[in-house]
């Protein structure tokens, strides 16, 4: 039947058979309007875009082929042993309502650049491209699709946001890949897909599968996309079946449980092993092949275990700059597997330790063949450590940087540290200076530490860093307002509430003695702040020379002294460990100094200096002012009223306050710190006349 005849007749077919011997062809340049069934035994060449009704390809000669027309079918059926040929690379074959291959005798041949698309129901019992690993079958409907049959498909793609459901004891066999692009593939133990040997499951961030597919053979996984993804049933709960894992989702992949990969690992994005603080899983890599990191920044965030350890060969761990190395069998000892838990952007535990550290927490563990921990000091390895020092400017923000401000410029000096049960201390022999990646510049800093012989908590830090935390409590007489039985002493924060306290300690005594005064800038002054104070670290209580260290800090209403930048107790660095007398000063109060020395060292970080009790002071309790009693306990504060540079409250101080009465400002003459100079300030100075400082200026 020729198309010119069809075009002239414009016939509507209810049942038509095109039966002929090869090379007969159903050749139509016009339009066939079909509401019944068209049976095609020869080749088909149809110029139209779509056809209605049912079209059946039925040639049944195993020695012959049958060319299939590429267009949109309503229903298309395939039967017979002749090989069905799909050879048009310009467009797919689309089954809009039903695609049906009758049984396993139906064999399709698809050239590489064409594919079959089904928009609704699929019943596939046939075989597609049995000799090749290409040949796409795409599920691309607008409603949930019904899929059944036990046919063979090289590549099955789900590209339907409404998903597809495997039904009627379905069991499609996929031997190249199942590509979950969009939507949920709803399968079950009775209605499932079967993954053939060495097949892949690809999964985009918009695709998923409901249950584990059927497989008793090696399976490989690839994840891709640009949105965060959590692994699902495609991640087989098996220690032996996942062969390769390609993590190409740049937004990260989170493990749903422990995962074992036995051949190759490729990362273009992160793998996260800890969905929550309570749920911690492990990525087991049982291959001898090193992971491949396809760009500079991806890593395994969490725990990675390598089980196939080698001698005299560095083994890459969580990122391309973290590795382990055993020089020989004697140094490996009984170690059979090694675990590194690497947590980016995490302050190393315990949080009370004050060593300056990069914000990366490391936990190292060695296990023997039975899975038991290997005792410390029975093995020796070299550990390559690394941390994020810069962001990749083209696609990252500075939030990924783990070098804290106190370490900027000191990256060369950061080494491996281990927590010894009390604090972090240098461990092994770190190779310094550290190295940095050059493309992009300094995204990673990395080095290695020799002679690592223990498991435990590790950090990357500066061994010459902080020594102590200044936990102290002091009161000032001037701003003290409320106290009594049942009422804890509270100082006034009038200056902060009026916005008068500067963000930087003012350039007056005693703050002017601090050489780093301008560095300690408060980002803001909370309304809980009373004023600025200084703390001096002196080698003797009565030393007249310069102290070893001066800190300008903020005083809170309940007497705590805080770092102006962190609003936490000050971490002390820059001085040698040892015994110091601490002196406390304020701009219009007499100083107090501890007669008893304080051990400034990491071993004493929990020590609290409390001047409010009036004990341990040079000159005794009389060096401060008794402010009151609460619950039978007396409390003391620094004596208010000195507004000159003298170490004694004199008539001169009284006169200066009188001359400045009615001044509203952040002023020396405002001895009660309410922002206004008046007779109350005058009374404070007069009542404390002739009081002397025990800490000379």
Mean pLDDT score across all residues of the chain = 92
* pLDDT, tens digit, 9 for 90 and up, residues 192-222: 999 998 999 999 999 999 999 999 889 999 9
- % of the chain at pLDDT higher than 70: 95
Kindly give the interhelix angle for 679-687 and 651-659, rounded to the nearest 10 degrees. Answer: 180
**DSSP string covering 194-251, please?**
EE-TTEEEEEEEEEEESSPPB-SS-EEEEEEESS-EE--TTS-S-SSSEEEEEEEETT
Q: What is the mean pLDDT of the segment spanning 532-547?
A: 87
Give CB contacts under 8 A, 24+ apart, made by 66-72: 66/40, 66/41, 66/42, 67/25, 67/43, 68/44, 68/93, 69/44, 69/45, 69/93, 70/114, 71/46, 72/96
Q: What is the mean pLDDT of the segment spanning 294-304?
A: 95
In three-state form (DSSP H/G/I as H, E/B as E, the rest C), the secondary structure along 595-621 is: CCCEEECHHHCCCEEEHHHCCCECCHH
Can you give the residue ranges of every domain in the chain? 296-465, 470-687
For 224, residues 6+ apart whose C-beta sits below 8 A from its C-beta are 202, 203, 204, 205, 248, 249
Which of the 8 DSSP states describes residue 589?
E
Q: What is the mean pLDDT of the segment spanning 177-195?
A: 96
What pLDDT is recorded for position 8? Answer: 31
Q: What is the mean pLDDT of the segment spanning 228-238?
A: 97
Q: What is the mean pLDDT of the segment spanning 399-419?
A: 93
Helix (H) or strand (E) holding 99: strand 93-101
For 464, residues 6+ apart whose C-beta sits below 8 A from its C-beta are 413
- % of the chain at pLDDT higher than 90: 79
440 pLDDT more than 90: no
52 pLDDT more than 80: yes
Helix (H) or strand (E) holding 323: strand 323-325
In three-state form (DSSP H/G/I as H, E/B as E, the rest C), the secondary structure along 606-662 is: CCEEEHHHCCCECCHHHHCEEEEEECCEEEEEECECCCCCCCECCHHHHHHHHHCCC
Q: What is the mean pLDDT of the segment spanning 689-693?
A: 89
Q: What is the mean pLDDT of the segment spanning 349-354?
A: 81
Q: Which two tokens stand for residue 682?
A: 């005058």
* pLDDT, tens digit, 9 for 90 and up, residues 466-514: 778 899 999 999 999 876 666 778 999 999 999 999 999 999 999 999 9
- 127-128 and 107-110 beta bridge pairing: parallel
* pLDDT, tens digit, 9 for 90 and up, residues 602-613: 778 778 999 999
- Name the CA radius of gyration of the chain, rounded: 39
388 pLDDT more than 60: yes
């Amino acid at each position: 039947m020729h198309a010119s005849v069809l075009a002239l007749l414009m016939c509507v077919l209810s049942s038509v058979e095109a039966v002929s011997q090869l090379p007969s062809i159903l050749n139509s340049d016009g339009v066939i309007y079909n509401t019944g069934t068209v049976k095609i035994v020869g080749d088909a060449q149809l110029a139209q875009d779509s056809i209605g009704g049912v079209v059946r390809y039925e040639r049944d000669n195993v020695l012959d082929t049958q060319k299939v027309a590429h267009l949109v079918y309503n229903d298309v059926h395939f039967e017979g042993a002749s090989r069905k040929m799909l050879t048009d690379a310009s467009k797919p074959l689309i089954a809009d309502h039903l695609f049906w291959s009758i049984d396993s005798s139906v064999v399709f041949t698809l050239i590489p650049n064409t594919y079959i698309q089904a928009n609704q129901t699929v019943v596939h019992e046939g075989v597609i491209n049995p000799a090749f690993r290409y040949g796409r079958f795409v599920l691309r409907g607008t409603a949930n699709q019904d899929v059944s049959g036990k046919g063979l498909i090289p590549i099955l793609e789900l590209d339907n946001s409404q998903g597809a459901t495997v039904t009627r004891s379905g069991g499609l066999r996929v031997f190249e890949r199942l590509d979950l692009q969009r939507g949920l593939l709803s399968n079950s133990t009775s209605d499932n897909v079967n993954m053939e040997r060495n097949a892949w499951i690809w999964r985009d961030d918009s695709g998923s599968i409901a249950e584990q597919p059927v497989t008793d053979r090696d399976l490989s996984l690839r994840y891709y996309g640009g949105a965060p993804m959590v692994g699902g049933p495609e991640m087989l709960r098996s220690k032996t079946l996942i062969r390769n894992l390609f993590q190409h989702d740049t937004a990260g992949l989170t493990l749903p449980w422990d995962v074992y990969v036995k051949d190759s690992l490729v990362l273009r994005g992160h793998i996260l092993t800890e969905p929550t603080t309570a749920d911690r899983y492990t990525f087991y890599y049982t291959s001898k092949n090193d992971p491949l990191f396809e760009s500079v920044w991806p890593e395994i965030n969490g725990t990675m275990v390598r089980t196939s350890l080698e001698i005299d060969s560095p083994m890459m761990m969580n990122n391309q700059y973290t590795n382990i190395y055993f020089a020989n069998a004697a140094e490996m000892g009984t170690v059979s597997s090694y675990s590194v838990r690497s947590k980016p952007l995490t302050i190393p535990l315990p949080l009370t330790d004050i060593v300056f550290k990069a914000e990366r927490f490391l936990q190292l563990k060695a296990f023997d063949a039975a899975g038991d921990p290997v005792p410390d000091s029975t093995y020796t390895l070299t550990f390559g450590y690394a941390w994020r020092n810069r962001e990749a400017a083209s696609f990252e923000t500075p939030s990924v940087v783990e070098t804290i401000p106190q370490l900027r410029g000191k990256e060369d000096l950061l080494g491996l540290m281990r927590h010894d049960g009390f604090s972090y201390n240098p461990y092994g022999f770190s190779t310094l200076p550290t190295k940095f990646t050059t493309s992009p510049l300094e995204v990673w800093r990395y080095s290695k530490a020799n002679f690592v012989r223990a498991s435990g908590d590790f950090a990357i830090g500066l061994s010459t860093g902080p020594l102590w935390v200044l936990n102290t409590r002091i009161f000032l007489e001037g701003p003290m307002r409320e106290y009594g039985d049942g009422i804890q002493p509270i100082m006034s924060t009038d200056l902060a509430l009026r916005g008068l306290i500067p963000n930087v300690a003012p350039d007056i005594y005693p703050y002017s003695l601090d050489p780093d005064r301008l560095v300690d800038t408060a980002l803001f002054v909370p309304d809980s702040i009373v004023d600025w104070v200084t703390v001096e670290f002196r080698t003797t209580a009565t030393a007249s020379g310069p102290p070893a260290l001066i800190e300008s800090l903020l005083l809170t209403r309940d007497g705590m002294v805080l770092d102006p930048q962190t609003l936490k107790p000050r971490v002390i660095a820059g001085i040698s460990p040892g015994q110091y007398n601490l002196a406390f000063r304020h701009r219009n109060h007499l100083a107090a100094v501890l007669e008893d020395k304080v051990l400034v060292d990491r071993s004493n970080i929990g020590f609290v200096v409390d001047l409010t009790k009036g004990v341990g002071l040079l000159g005794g309790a009389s060096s401060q002012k008794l402010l009151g009693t609460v619950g039978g306990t007396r409390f003391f504060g620094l004596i208010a009223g000195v507004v000159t540079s003298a170490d004694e409250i004199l008539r001169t101080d009284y006169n200066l306050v009188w001359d400045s009465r009615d001044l509203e400002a952040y002023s020396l003459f405002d001895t009660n710190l309410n922002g206004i100079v008046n007779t109350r300030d005058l009374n404070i100075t007069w009542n404390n006349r002739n009081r002397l400082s025990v800490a000379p200026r």
